[in-house]
Amino acid sequence: MPDAPHTRAACFSCLRAFFAAKGFLEVDTPIRLPAIIPERFIEPITSEDFFLQTSPELCMKRLLARGYPRIFQISHCFRRGEKGRLHHEEFMMLEWYRLGADYRRLMADCDALLAFLAQNLDKFLPPDTDFIWPARLREEFLLGAETVSVADAFARHAPRSLDEAMAAGAFDELLVHHVEPHLGRSRPTFLTDYPAELASLARLSPEDERIAERFELYSRGIELANGFSELTDANEQRRRFAEEIATIARDGKTRPAMPERFLADLARIDAASGIALGLDRLIMLLLDESALATAVTFAPDDL
Partner 1 sequence: MYNASDLRKGLKLLIDGNPYIVIDFEFSKPGKGQSLYRCKMRNMISGNQLVKTYRSVDKFEKAELEEKTMQYLYHQGDEYHFMDTTSYEQLALTAEQLGDNAHYLIDNMEVEGLFFDGRPIDVTVPTFVNLVVTQADPWAKGDTTGNDTKPVTVETGYQLQVPPFIEEGEKIQIDTRTGAYVTRVK
DSSP 178: I
Residue choice 16, 87, 105, 157 for contact with partner 1 (CB under 8 A): 87
Residue choice 213, 216, 230, 265 for contact with partner 1 (CB under 8 A): 216
In the range 28-47, which residues lie near partner 1 by CB under 8 A? 39-42
Residue 175 as a binder of partner 1 (CB under 8 A): the answer is yes
Residue choice 102, 109, 180, 213 for contact with partner 1 (CB under 8 A): 180
Residue 171 as a binder of partner 1 (CB under 8 A): the answer is yes
Residue 83 as a binder of partner 1 (CB under 8 A): the answer is yes
Residue closer to partner 1, measured from CB, 109 or 223 = 223
Residue 193 as a binder of partner 1 (CB under 8 A): the answer is no
- At residue 174's C-alpha, the angle toward residues 42 and 226, to 5°, is 45
CB of 114 to partner 1, least distance (A): 18
In contact, 52 and 34? CB cutoff 8 Å: no
Residue choice 147, 200, 247, 290 for contact with partner 1 (CB under 8 A): 200
Residue 236 CA to residue 233 CA, distance in Å, equals 5
In the range 229-268, which residues lie near partner 1 by CB under 8 A? 251
Residue choice 173, 236, 243, 260 for contact with partner 1 (CB under 8 A): 173
Residue 301 as a binder of partner 1 (CB under 8 A): the answer is no
CB of 95 to partner 1, least distance (A): 13
The three-state secondary structure class of 113 is helix
Total length of the chain:
303
Residue 81: is it exposed, middle or buried by C-beta count within 10 angstroms (0-12/13-18/19+)?
exposed
In contact, 68 and 25? CB cutoff 8 Å: yes
Residue choice 3, 82, 122, 233 for contact with partner 1 (CB under 8 A): 82
> Over the range 263-284, which residues count as b (16 or more CB within 10 Å of their CB) and which as e?
eebbeebeebbbbbbbbbbbbb
Residue closer to partner 1, measured from CB, 142 or 293 = 293
Residue 163 CA to residue 4 CA, distance in Å, equals 42
In contact, 249 and 255? CB cutoff 8 Å: yes
Residue 191 CA to residue 175 CA, distance in Å, equals 11
Residue 54 as a binder of partner 1 (CB under 8 A): the answer is no
Residue closer to partner 1, measured from CB, 223 or 265 = 223
Q: Give the β-pairing of 50-52 and 32-33.
A: antiparallel
- How far is Cα of residue 276 from the mean position of the Cα atoms in its chain? 3
Range in contact with partner 1 (rule: CB under 8 A) among 109-117, 127-135, 170-178, 203-211: 170-178
Q: Minimal CA–CA distance to 166: which of 193, 192, 196?
A: 196
CB of 216 to partner 1, least distance (A): 5
Residue 111 as a binder of partner 1 (CB under 8 A): the answer is no
CB of 11 to partner 1, least distance (A): 21
Residue 222 CA to residue 135 CA, distance in Å, equals 17
Contacts of 108 (CB under 8 A, 6+ apart): none
Residue choice 86, 143, 196, 234 for contact with partner 1 (CB under 8 A): 86
Amino acid found at 26:
E
CB of 125 to partner 1, least distance (A): 30
Binding site for partner 1 (CB under 8 A): 39-42, 81-87, 171-173, 175-177, 180, 198, 200, 216, 223, 226, 251
